[in-house]
């Protein structure tokens, strides 16, 4: 039985022959590689990397608790977002949907492909409205959900995700860039039940490898195979792959960072709540705080004048006067608070 979601794939991709390297075309042990026009003088970087990153996929699959067949390593999550749109959305015709306010790349990525966007609105509690999904038409191929959501900081329950997966007719992508900061279970748990589900995670946030550009997409094999088909042959470079292998073998370092960041987040929330010009600090399952000020733009400009850059979200729907503040080290957060102290006194 073929799964009913396969008809969502752009039809020309089914017949596409992907680029194949000479090393894909043989198996066994080679004594000498004279196939790829590389420089023969040995250095750590003279050979092309493994296009499918077999060693890395095995390691990441084991820490994520999935099979290596259900996992794709991406050049940051942003690459996976882009590839999924390329796999499912016909330019000039199809659309993606997401609930605002959320991460900006879904809309930007769609726009670069001439793919339309349907912007739904989260409710006052920043929760998605499941019933709104019934109105989406057949050309809306992908729903992007960000959980914990950037910039609101809240997480959608697995129960809510179940309801969404049962309601929406297309591909559901759950972007879990911040899941390492939350105690809640990952949507990876739902993969077995839903062939249309894709879970994205990244090594850019908790794992501290933003500069290495490493993300991971987990899904049923039919989706992973399509992503493998359309990706650039060498999307992951060996330097980044090596860094990640090293880092995932020391998971306690990441856990320690996460613990410190969460502790700092709670400390910062408490301190900020003491300022008369702060209206609300939203609960956060991530490494940032969304804060509503009496006058968000004025605080934003003030902080810039002190050399501190935070994310101004005051113009986003539902986020009047809100700034998103990334949690820093204890010293960095103290510096922020010291400066804000002088704002009070102005
Ligand atoms: C930071 C972030 C990402 C990460 O993108 P990378 O390309 O992996 O660095 C993805 N999604 C959301 C919601 C983010 O906030």
What sign does the dihedral 212-63-227-21 (CA atoms) show? positive
List the beta bridge partners of residue 146.
Answer: 175
* pLDDT one-digit tens code per residue, 251-294: 999 999 999 999 999 999 999 999 999 999 999 999 999 999 99
Q: How far apart are CA 142 and CA 130, in angstroms?
A: 15
Of all protein residues, the one whose alpha carbon is nearest to atom 1 of ligand 1 is 177
Is the CB of residue 170 below 6 angstroms from any atom belonging to ligand 1? no
Tokens of 300: 């934003």
Identify the pLDDT of residue 344: 77
Identify the pLDDT of residue 23: 79
Identify the pLDDT of residue 310: 98
Which residue among 74, 204, 211, 235 has the greatest number of ligand 1 atoms within 8 angstroms of its CB, and so is best to mutate?
204
Beginning with the edge strand found earlier in the chain, give each strand of the sheet holding 171-175 in spatial order: 71-74, 215-219, 197-202, 171-175, 140-146, 95-100, 116-121
Residues whose CB is less than 8 angstroms from the CB of residue 321 and which lie 6 or more positions away in sequence, other chains included: 279, 292, 293, 294, 295, 296, 297, 314
Residue in the block written with tokens 């986003």:
316
Identify the pLDDT of residue 299: 98
3-state secondary structure string across 286-303: CCEEEEEECCHHHHHHHH
Identify the pLDDT of residue 99: 98
Is the CB of residue 186 below 6 angstroms from any atom belonging to ligand 1? no
Burial class of residue 135 (count of CB atoms within 10 Å of its CB; 0-12, 13-18, 19+):
exposed
Identify the pLDDT of residue 211: 97
Identify the pLDDT of residue 346: 55
The pairing of strands 278-281 and 322-326 is: unpaired
Instruction: Flag residues of the chain having pLDDT under 70.
Output: 1, 345-346
* pLDDT one-digit tens code per residue, 130-154: 999 999 999 999 999 999 999 999 9
């Amino acid at each position: 039985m073929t799964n009913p979601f396969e008809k969502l794939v752009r039809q020309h991709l089914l017949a596409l022959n992907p680029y194949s390297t000479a090393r894909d075309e043989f198996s066994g042990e080679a004594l000498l590689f004279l196939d790829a026009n590389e420089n023969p003088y040995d250095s750590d970087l003279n050979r092309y990397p493994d296009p499918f990153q077999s060693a890395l996929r095995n390691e990441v699959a084991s820490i994520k608790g999935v099979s290596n067949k259900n996992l794709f390593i991406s050049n940051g999550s942003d690459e996976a977002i882009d590839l999924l749109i390329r796999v499912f959305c016909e330019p000039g015709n199809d659309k993606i949907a997401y609930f605002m306010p959320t991460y900006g790349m879904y809309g930007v990525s769609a726009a670069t492909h001439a793919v339309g966007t349907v912007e739904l609105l989260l409710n006052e509690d920043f929760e998605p409205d499941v019933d709104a999904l019934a109105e989406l038409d057949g050309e809306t191929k992908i729903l992007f959900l960000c959980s914990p959501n950037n910039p609101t900081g809240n997480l959608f329950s697995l129960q809510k995700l179940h309801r969404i997966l049962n309601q929406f007719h297309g591909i559901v992508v759950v972007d879990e860039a911040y899941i390492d900061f939350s105690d809640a279970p990952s949507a990876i748990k739902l993969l077995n039940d839903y062939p249309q589900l894709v879970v994205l995670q990244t090594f850019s946030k908790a794992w501290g490898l933003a500069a290495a550009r490493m993300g991971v997409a987990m899904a049923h094999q039919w989706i992973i195979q399509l992503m493998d088909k359309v990706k650039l042959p060498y999307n992951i470079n060996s330097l980044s792959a090596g860094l990640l292998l090293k880092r995932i073998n020391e998971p306690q370092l990441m856990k320690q960072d996460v613990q410190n960041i969460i502790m700092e987040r709670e400390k910062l929330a408490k301190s900020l709540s003491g300022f008369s010009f702060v209206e609300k600090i939203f609960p956060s399952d991530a490494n940032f705080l969304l804060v509503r000020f009496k006058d968000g733009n004025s605080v934003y400009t003030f902080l810039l004048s002190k050399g501190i850059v935070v994310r101004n979200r005051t113009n986003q729907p539902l986020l009047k006067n809100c700034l998103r503040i990334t949690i820093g080290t204890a010293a960095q957060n103290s510096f922020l608070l010291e400066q804000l102290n002088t704002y009070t006194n102005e």
